[in-house]
Structure 1
């Protein structure tokens, strides 16, 4: 049942793009940032959705992001490149890097593009999905500011550095893994704190290294690595690829988006795209992937399990549901976006489902 806090995804994207344009971002680039945010909400990753609009705008206003920067390719050969994001929006820098990686993969079999001097780039799925549309295996990595301790430590040192992997299929839903290397993305704890909700045991520790269910105390402490030393190790390798190898910040040298107002973030990303045709015909590969996935989904299920899912499948279904029924925004997010809209002369109400007679209908 659609209610007054459900928003049409296309009009919500238009709203976000419009406020970025009013803040001085070029329309084409504002569209990329807005699409990144709204796609996260569609897939149910609300911590990386339009809730981030305010912090992005604040960093532009405080000159911590430069939307007028000229992104440049610093080094390049047939299969690799290094891009200097020049402190532009992470999604805009990521868009350029992905396009270059895909171009190189189609020409030479593989494309590997590293990025330095960037900012928070949204979800890895935003890029992996686009690689999938081109029938490319797509691997996306990014580092982040310190929110997680090394295993055995209590002080944040490394980011919840995300990893996304997209692999094309034929008739089946594509494989799309998109994960943080912590037990949970820090953004979910931020959302819980905004709502005044407790968090589960095992998500985080407080500043003294003690387990906590208090979201506010968790934000003062650290989120924990997924699987202990395994998540810590994966986060390190992503940081090495995205930060050490590219010349971006790494470890404690990546600046916090919410807390550091003296210097840019200097986030690093790494994109790898692979042309399946260099190994086998894409149709054969997709057929083999379909067989693989169907075999998994027909495996015997546990007593309380109705269906076995592959990575990305639930998010894809949720996206289709939200395209039809609208994106549900919390009261806090609605209030924040309404205030932003008033500041820039853009109405959030125009994005409401009911205002456009779209209740219960597709798009």
Structure 2
């Protein structure tokens, strides 16, 4: 789970945005693309999703600087019909191409009810919830996954690894409400991924059905976010040779609620369901209240917008690494540490 840091410095949203923008531009990324990437990474930190915020940025910068990712991509639509668009990321990180595919999927959903955006030949595109939240804001239900080329291949390993952990692709659903915050499930498709440790070695025997279902979710994410994008076609080998950090794909599905049922009718039932669950059930062990997926992120977002983003050790180390590598001034005042 993403837990807030006990010790931290606070960084304003604007300073994190400017810092990331400068770092990405320093390694050759164009200003417009750097702006999108900085925005989405900062959004994760604003929501307290520390696993997918600034901590990823040093690795991204290193891949751009070393040529594993394309700094000057020709991101373009390569296929389109009334319901579907496929975007070729041309070796770039997935953030910009997936944002383009998401916006296109929403536009198609507004026309025909459902829109599908696919991307291929990309690097990591971050938390899948970035893209389902864009759907949410447009009055659409969103579903997003990412797939990894060659994932699932372990035949070279001896002994064979157990089938309990077959991969960790991102997955997200977003369901808008009317007055309550949306339900946003933003997760690794392997729902028990955090338990791949020796002290939990007996879990597969105790709850085998959980691991079997997790295997199915991982397969769903990889195949819809990979195979469906066409990222194994002939040109993929050449792109992977030139940009080995871009062997991934992604999918975003948008469903326009108003095309199916009046938004106020749908939203009222989502509100009712949220309140019923939160008020009818006892909290989980260790929790003080029942909170739906995505609601805690909204609370942290409001707090961080007001008081600044809490940078713990993980975030500070990432920023310090980029400062040391590229000379970009740190996004906090040293005397405040």
Structure-1 residue corresponding to 2:264: 283
Q: Map 1:99-118 onto structure 2 (within 5 A).
A: 99-118=103-122
**Residues 260-309 of structure 1: CA distance to partner in whole angstroms, max 9, x if unpaired?**
99723310101100111111111221112111212222204259653211
Contact 1:100 1:113 survives alignment (8 Å): yes
Structure-2 residue corresponding to 1:319: 301
Give structure 2 stretches of 5+ with no counterpart. 201-207
Give secondary structure in 1 for the equivalent of 2:291.
coil
CA distance in 2, matches of 1:69, 1:16: 19
**Residues 244-273 of structure 1: CA distance to partner in whole angstroms, max 9, x if unpaired?**
1212269xx99xx9xx99723310101100
Contact 1:8 1:352 survives alignment (8 Å): no
Contact 1:119 1:266 survives alignment (8 Å): yes
Aligned residues: 317
Contact 1:120 1:144 survives alignment (8 Å): no
Within the candidate set 298, 301, 314, 2:282 is matched to 301
Q: Does 1:173 align with 2:181?
A: yes
Give secondary structure in 2 for the equivalent of 1:143.
strand
What is the CA distance between 1:212 and its match in structure 2?
5.5
Within the candidate set 341, 351, 357, 2:323 is matched to 341
CA distance in 1, matches of 2:299, 2:334: 19
TM-score with structure 1 setting the length = 0.77
CA distance in 2, matches of 1:311, 1:353: 36
Contact 2:69 2:243 survives alignment (8 Å): no
Q: 1:11 and 1:168, CA in 2 relative to 1: closer, same or farther beyond 3 A?
A: same
Structure-1 residue corresponding to 2:226: 243
Structure-2 residue corresponding to 1:190: none
Contact 1:15 1:347 survives alignment (8 Å): yes
Give secondary structure in 2 for the equivalent of 1:165.
strand
Structure-1 residue corresponding to 2:196: 204
Q: 1:244 and 1:4, CA in 2 relative to 1: closer, same or farther beyond 3 A?
A: closer
**Residues 183-212 of structure 1: CA distance to partner in whole angstroms, max 9, x if unpaired?**
4567xxxxxxxxxxxxxxxx215xxxxx35
**Residues 54-104 of structure 1: CA distance to partner in whole angstroms, max 9, x if unpaired?**
100011011111121111211110111222111112101111111111111
Moved over 6 A (4+): 1-4, 147-150
What is the CA distance between 1:333 and its match in structure 2?
4.0
Contact 1:226 1:232 survives alignment (8 Å): no
Structure-1 residue corresponding to 2:171: 163
Is 152-161 or 308-317 further displaced after alignment? 152-161
